Amino acid sequence: MKAKLLFLCPLLSNKNCKVKKITVLVIVLATFVVACNKPNGFVINGKITNAKEKYLYLDELKVSSSIQVDSVKLKTDGSFKFKGKISYPNFYLLRLNEKNFVTLLVDTTEKITVYGDASNFARDYVVEGSPGSLLVQELNNKLTVTKHRIDSIRNLVDAFRSVDDPVQKAKWNSDLAEIKKKQIDYSTNFVQKHPFSMSSVLALYQKFDDSNYVIQDLQSLKVGASALNSIFPKSEHVKALYANTQRLMGQEKNNKLKAYIAENGENSPDISLPNTNGRVVSLSSLKAKVILIQFWSALNRDSRYQNQALVELYTKYRSKGLEIYQVSIDTDRNAWLSAIEQDGLSWVNVGDMKGSVSAQHNYNVQTIPSNYILDGERRIVARDLIGPALDQAVGKLIR
């Protein structure tokens, strides 16, 4: 546009040229503003046959419930239309009644068309204009087929329960295991293939029955939760998935620790290491209501940040029975002593300046910083708590 204006200017007076430029700029800017301010919004329309004058409902799927956001009376030909605005992809139900509905994954500006028949709407519908909804349909169809196959075999098992045929029963059990394995493999691969699609949330929460999730391996949860949290951190579904994954990761750590303790026969192995004055101080020598063991490094930024919180925690609970036994994995004595002074660490600090390898091994330390809370009977009751969670845990034990 600018080049065209410059070409026309010699044919016009300077005054006219300036007016022309201003007019075009105003038009361009107005167009730009309108385009930028154009509101995001989705449209869901379509047609449902054999549903003349019935009502169709649009429900928003929450983490553990659904809420009705709109409804329309289907026209004579079964056509309908919904409009809405969202900030990120979200799940909706298009519902004729409580048992006859389809699930859609709606993106912010999608124009979605849905076709179906009222008699079998939930089982046989066509959706266009929404890649996420197609993935949801694929997931649901796959699991439905799997469940039907499982139910068929279970019905046979129940019908022939009194028949003494171990070979046939073993065959049925083998078939059931194979059907489930194929579904698990499919769902796991789905998450790996679509880590940044909200449809993976559905894949991760699908169940064979009320108590058995299809995907049970933590790695798939980590992949899905991490990827989606980086793209849709404000989504209610992603927040719930991420929090659940963090909780399961914590459980896994605790289970590993319990297994290690069971194997080694000790709940809280003793530690004996020299303090800043060179005097060996053992963990077992401490007399306190609650002990926090903290593995750290003077050269580790996260450790130094946590030291600030530990100072506040120690000030708050020291007089009530808290002691901190801090184990350094450093090899630089000067850096260790300097950090203790700079951070104002007044509790027990020990380290052999060789990485305190034996102590790390005994407590299965995988990352720095790490911590363990010991109760009055010197049992490990929690690990790797930070912030409010650490304060609350100590506070409950101190009472």
> pLDDT by residue (tens digit) across 103-113?
999 999 999 99
Residue-wise DSSP of 147-206: HHHHHHHHHHHHHTTTS--HHHHHHHHHHHHHHHHHHHHHHHHHHHH-TTSTHHHHHHH-
Low-confidence ranges of the chain (pLDDT < 70): 1-40, 254, 256-267
pLDDT at 23: 41
pLDDT at 163: 82
pLDDT at 332: 95
pLDDT at 36: 42
pLDDT at 365: 86
pLDDT at 13: 40
* Sign of the dihedral through C-alpha 33, 36, 42, 47: positive
Domain 272-398 superfamily per CATH: Glutaredoxin (3.40.30.10)
Structure tokens at 264: 């080694």
Structure tokens at 290: 């609650």
pLDDT at 216: 87
* Sign of the dihedral through C-alpha 141, 147, 153, 155: negative
Cβ atoms of 381 and 308 closer than 8 Å: no
pLDDT at 257: 63
Domain 42-129 superfamily per CATH: Carboxypeptidase-like, regulatory domain (2.60.40.1120)
pLDDT at 263: 56
pTM score, whole prediction: 0.58
Residue-wise DSSP of 277-304: TS-EEEGGG---SEEEEEEE-TT-HHHH
**What are the domain boundaries of the chain?**
2-37, 42-129, 137-257, 272-398
Tell me how far apart the 2 most distant CA atoms of the chain are, in Å: 105
